[in-house]
Amino acid sequence: MESSQSAGNRTVQVRVMRQENPNSTPRWELFEVPYRPNMNVHMCLLEIQERPTTIEGSQTTPPCWEVNCLEEVCGSCTMVINGRVRQACSALVDTLSQPITIEPMSKFPVVRDLVVDRSRMFEELKKVKAWVPLDGTHALGNGPRYSQEEQSTAYVLSRCMTCGCCVEACPQYGPGSAFIGPAAINQVRRFNLHPTGALNKGERIETVMGPGGITDCGNAQVCASVCPKEIPLLESIAAVARDATVHSIRRWFGK
């Protein structure tokens, strides 16, 4: 239960991309904030929020950003920091070159400043039917048994927090494209691996077989390298692509 303390006169320079609303033109503002031990980019923004004065001394409004858990499990504070998409909470100042540049993600409409509208990603989860279709939540006994190894695989896949890092990095994904992106494709694999989820495997595979589906992946292979949860997205895309091929052959032969 400690309060933060400042360390000497060290400061941190931060350049923040500002945009008042979805229709206004973005501009940069440069700030200087006191350095604190264990400082992350979120804390830099907090300093600016309390004293929103640029380095030139002009008053401005506090920047807007999304934040919640502060331990990289909710995905809220995703932004582009020094050119790389990541969470502001786990971006430690000590590891970043200055001035630190902070921009909103580029693949989604900007709401204000660093806040973007990622609702498209949740719509994509709807599209691929990323769920086990339960008969009901009343007591119907145990779930299926499965091995420790199967659990390990499923667990890694299911840690996706829909933060958007993978789609921000993906050259195929964006406002002009229908591609559903690696995160949603990974969910297809995750539910098709589950014993009950697999009962609807075909239906789920079909959701990624049309336009915007698995064949829109350009194999740039950058999605997995920016995933903060180290989800093997390339493996997931390959697995779903394989299943889609098998499914279409089966469908061809009417099986």
Partner 1 sequence: MAQPRVIVVGGGLAGLMATIKLAEAGAQVDLLSIVPVKRSHSVCAQGGINGAVNTKGEGDSPELHFYDTVKGGDFLAHQPPVRDMTREAPNIIYMFDRMGVPFSRTPEGLIDFRRFGGTLHHRTAHAGATTGQQLLYALDEQVRRFEADGKVTKFEGWESFDPVLDATGRCVGVVAMDIRSMEIRAFLGDAVVFATGGLGAIFGFGTNSVVNTGSAIAGCYQAGAHYGNPEFIQIHPTAISGGDKLRLMSESVRGEGGRVWVPKNPKDNRSPASIPETERWYFLEEKYPLYGNLVPRDIASREIHHVVYNLGHRVEGEEAVYLDLTHRDPDYLTKKLGGVLEIYEKFKGQDPRRVPMKVAPAVHYSMGGLWVDYKQMTNIPGLFAAGECEFQYHGANRLGANALVACVYGGIVSGVTSFEWAANHAKKAPASTVADSALSRFRERTKAISARGGAENLYAIRRDLGALMVRNVTIVRENSELVKTQQKLVDLAARTRKAPLPDQGPWANQGLVHALEIENMIDLARAITAGALARDESRGAHYKPAFEKRDDAKWLCTTKAIFTPDGPKLDFTEKIDISLLPLAERRYDVVPAHAPKPSIGTASGSAGAAH
Q: Binders of partner 1 among 103-132, rule CB under 8 A?
A: 111-113, 115, 118-119, 122, 125-126, 129-132
Q: Does 141 bind partner 1 (CB under 8 A)?
A: yes
Q: Which of 32, 54, 55, 64 binds partner 1 (CB under 8 A)?
A: 64
∠ CA 92-94-98, nearest 5°, is: 100
User: What is the smallest separation between the CB atom of 83 and partner 1, expressed in angstroms?
Assistant: 20
User: What is the smallest separation between the CB atom of 198 and partner 1, expressed in angstroms?
Assistant: 10
User: How far apart are the C-alpha atoms of 153 and 136, rounded to whole Å?
Assistant: 26
For 110-160, give the DSSP string.
Answer: EEETTEE--HHHHHHHHHTT-S---S-SS---------HHHHHHHHHHTT-
Binding pattern for the stretch 66-105 against partner 1, x by CB under 8 A and - elsewhere: xxxxxxxxxxx------------xx-x-------------
Query: Which CB sits closer to partner 1, 160 or 217?
Result: 160
Token pair for 98: 């200055």
The footprint of partner 1 on residues 201-230 (CB under 8 A) is: none
Binding pattern for the stretch 13-42 against partner 1, x by CB under 8 A and - elsewhere: -------xx--------------xxxxx-x
User: What is the smallest separation between the CB atom of 253 and partner 1, expressed in angstroms?
Assistant: 30
Residue 98 — left, alpha, or beta (φ > 0 → left; ψ -120 to 50 → alpha)?
Answer: beta
The one segment of 140-148, 166-174, 175-183, 206-214 that binds partner 1 by CB under 8 A:
140-148
User: How far apart are the C-alpha atoms of 155 and 69, rounded to whole Å?
Assistant: 20
In the block, residue with structure tokens 């949860």: 229
Query: Which CB sits closer to partner 1, 20 or 32?
Result: 20
User: How far apart are the C-alpha atoms of 182 and 169, rounded to whole Å?
Assistant: 10
Strand intervals (E) in the chain: 11-18, 27-34, 78-81, 84-87, 100-103, 110-112, 115-116
Number of residues counted as binding partner 1 (CB under 8 A): 74
Q: Which of 8, 58, 139, 252 binds partner 1 (CB under 8 A)?
A: 139
User: What is the smallest separation between the CB atom of 174 and partner 1, expressed in angstroms?
Assistant: 20
